[in-house]
Structure 1
Amino acid sequence: MNETLLEGNGSRVPIEILWYHHDLSRHAAEALLLSNGTDGSYLLRNSNEGEGSLALSVRAKDSVKHFHVTRKDNGYSFGFNEYPTLQHFVIHFANQPLLGSDAGTLMVLKSPYPWRVEEPSIYESVRVHTAIQTGRTENDLVPTAPSLGTKEGYLTKQGAFVKNWKQRWFTLNRYELKYFKDKGSEEPIRTVDLKACSAVQFDYSQERVNCFCLVFPERTFYLCAKTGVEADEWIKILRWKLSQISKGR
């Protein structure tokens, strides 16, 4: 492999590594992989751990794990092992599980996430394909794929007046959070404008678990997800939306 090198934050990376995303942040990497990747999608980026330090971000089902990779004169080191090129590193882990956490999450590198897609600071205009599969390249991008920063799924919502809980189908697109009676409903019960939201945070005041709330001047919405991971994903993407709104003011 011809190692024509790129410079970035002190890290030198082969130009053939089309999934090297330079200064993509940890949070943005999570947003990219969760919104548009699949289980086993991965990308390489610079790490804030110091010069010559890289991070490999890998999607494992509904979460993203991050691993430190260090550039050295004779190749790349990961844990106790060293590899002459990043391609050797990927090939090695594509053939055996990559241990992702103390909880024992196992991941295999399957689908490189290409950097040759539009990735402006405001991710609403990013268009990338939603089904990156092994063997596909950046030339297989689907131009009409959903924009980054969208999310949907069932959440349990507390009523405004009668404090009972009902399952609703939620969709997040741009700065609008809509909820429907169920997934097949055409008209939303309500559309919530996130531009009026002041905070999104975990909520521990309910008897239920995996709950979070959205704080508005006139009302606080209480929502619960099926799992803590799912609740964390909703919170992260909603907080990211609020940060983008704040930057635009």
Structure 2
Amino acid sequence: MSFYSDVSTEDMSDELETLGWYHNDLSRHAAEALLLSNGTDGSYLLRNSNEGPSCFALSVRAKDSVKHFHVTRRDSTYVFGFNEFTSLQAFVNHFANQPLLGSDAGTLIVLKSPYPWRVEEPSIYESVRVHTAIQTGRTENDLVLNAPSLGTKEGYLVKQGALVKNWKQRWFILSRYELKYFKDKMCEEPIRTLDLRACSAIQFDYSQDRVNCFCLVFPERTFYLCAKTGVEADEWIKILKWKLSQIRKGR
């Protein structure tokens, strides 16, 4: 018997709203911006499709691109590819088992982690929205204004050494109040974890003979970091400064 056999379509919609990775009216281009800027390979989310009220799209990050797959709801049944699920719970359970998807190019994509719509941190989405609009040839008005907040950030930055003042590329991951950096993206153990609760200032820096630099001031040391572009450096500074402001509010 279907899990939803005795409920109405309206009840089903309410049930769908409880799904942690259902992003409702997030547009295709906004989903791409969100997953490319803050997701990882295998991150996925469900959103409404413009093809009809019972049509949805599963957006999945596959390395440096985002693929979109159709999901259709028929009465109490969810149809996804060749699979048909008799309840929302069965649909969700399917994605908990890390299934594979086939893309148009014939490659397989592993679904690794749902991208939640509820996060506790602020949106730095505006710069992402504008950047995506430029890339796709659209105006920023084509993309949604109220996108989900970005919970973490990661990417390569070039860091100045402590004793020998040379510059080396490191992989950085920002999560909650910790900024970790690794030798490269594949390493599991960080070289160091910086506790932002001990940081006194974050700002652009023009003292170094490099562009797109910013610094994090700690009691024992000031860390100098450089991004590839000014936009990327600005995004790092914005979310880091917000975290700092939240730390100070909590004191």
TM-score by length of 1: 0.47
More helix by share: 2
TM-score by length of 2: 0.46
